[in-house]
Amino acid sequence: MALLGEIAPHVPARHHSLLREHLTAMLLRHGFPRAAREVAERSLPAVKELAATHPQRDEAGFRLGAAHDICGQTRFADGHVAAAEAVLTIAVDVYRELAAEHPTFMEADQRLADSLQRLGELYHALDLPGHKAKEYQTWSECSVIRSRLFQAIRSPAAAMEAALAFRRLAGLAERDGDRDNARRLLDTRLTMVEAMAEVYPDDEELLAEVAAARQESAALDDPLRAKRFGAG
């Protein structure tokens, strides 16, 4: 972290936002959410200014989306949950526009899905009645994109990311009394991770996800269970 600060004066100003992104990520990873948020908050206006005059529109969009996304991550981690929604929503809008303009560019889809997941987790954490519709819409869009990425990449990581989206969405469907939809979503999740487990039989994380998916699918018809799928 100190090294990033030392090399900043020797790096062109147009790349400072990338350094700040790395610094913010490191601070978050090492358990300093407040310091991470302060760096992200200082960086955001500079990135906005850079994006407004950047000659390459797509690169400007990706930097703008990244700055809002990481600012949202740090606000969420530092307990500023409501404030995190505002910037994460902007990140989603930026990436959604990029993905629409470049439908074959998986990077745009990946970043959009990541931001949608973070926004969905934020609504999940808030657990407010007024956010229920937005939470369902967010996870629904996320699951569609995660499925598309899984079909293109066919990797354990892509399967795990898609599985989380389907699990969250199934929990919301069950909450609303739509058990048929919850069943369909959980079956899709299970099929996805089982297919990957056949290809990667030694992936312990994937095998654990298969076991959890099977258990939760079976538990859907258990009226005595005390926990919904979306709770964990």
Establish if 107 belongs to a structural domain: no
Last residue of a domain, one of 92, 109, 128: 92
- Angstrom distances, CA of residue 11 to CA of 20, 137, 223: 12, 41, 61
Establish if 115 belongs to a structural domain: no
Tell me the pLDDT tens digit for each residue of 149-170.
999 999 999 999 999 999 999 9
User: Which candidate, 193, 187, 195, 192, places its Cα nearest to that of 221?
Assistant: 187
Q: Which segments of the chain does DSSP mark as H helices, in order?
A: 2-7, 16-29, 33-53, 57-77, 81-101, 106-126, 132-153, 156-175, 179-199, 204-219
Establish if 126 belongs to a structural domain: no
Q: Is 82 exposed, middle or buried (0-12, 13-18, 19+ CB in 10 A)?
A: exposed
Last residue of a domain, one of 28, 61, 92: 92
Same domain? For 73 and 2 the reply is yes
Establish if 105 belongs to a structural domain: no
Establish if 39 belongs to a structural domain: yes
pLDDT band of 24, cuts 50, 70, 90: confident
Same domain? For 72 and 148 the reply is no
Residue 18 has what pLDDT?
A: 66
Residue 195 has what pLDDT?
A: 95
pLDDT band of 223, cuts 50, 70, 90: low
- Rounded to an integer, the average pLDDT of 32-53 is 87
Q: Is 185 exposed, middle or buried (0-12, 13-18, 19+ CB in 10 A)?
A: buried
Establish if 187 belongs to a structural domain: yes
Count of structural domains, the chain: 2
pLDDT band of 222, cuts 50, 70, 90: low
- Rounded to an integer, the average pLDDT of 194-205 is 96
Establish if 6 belongs to a structural domain: yes
With a cut of 90, say whether residue 67 has pLDDT above it: yes
Establish if 224 belongs to a structural domain: no
User: Which candidate, 199, 200, 192, 197, places its Cα nearest to that of 217?
Assistant: 192
- Rounded to an integer, the average pLDDT of 175-182 is 91
Share the mean pLDDT of the chain: 86
- Rounded to an integer, the average pLDDT of 82-94 is 96
With a cut of 50, say whether residue 4 has pLDDT above it: no
Same domain? For 6 and 78 the reply is yes
Domain residues for the domain of 188 are 141-219
Residue 86 has what pLDDT?
A: 95
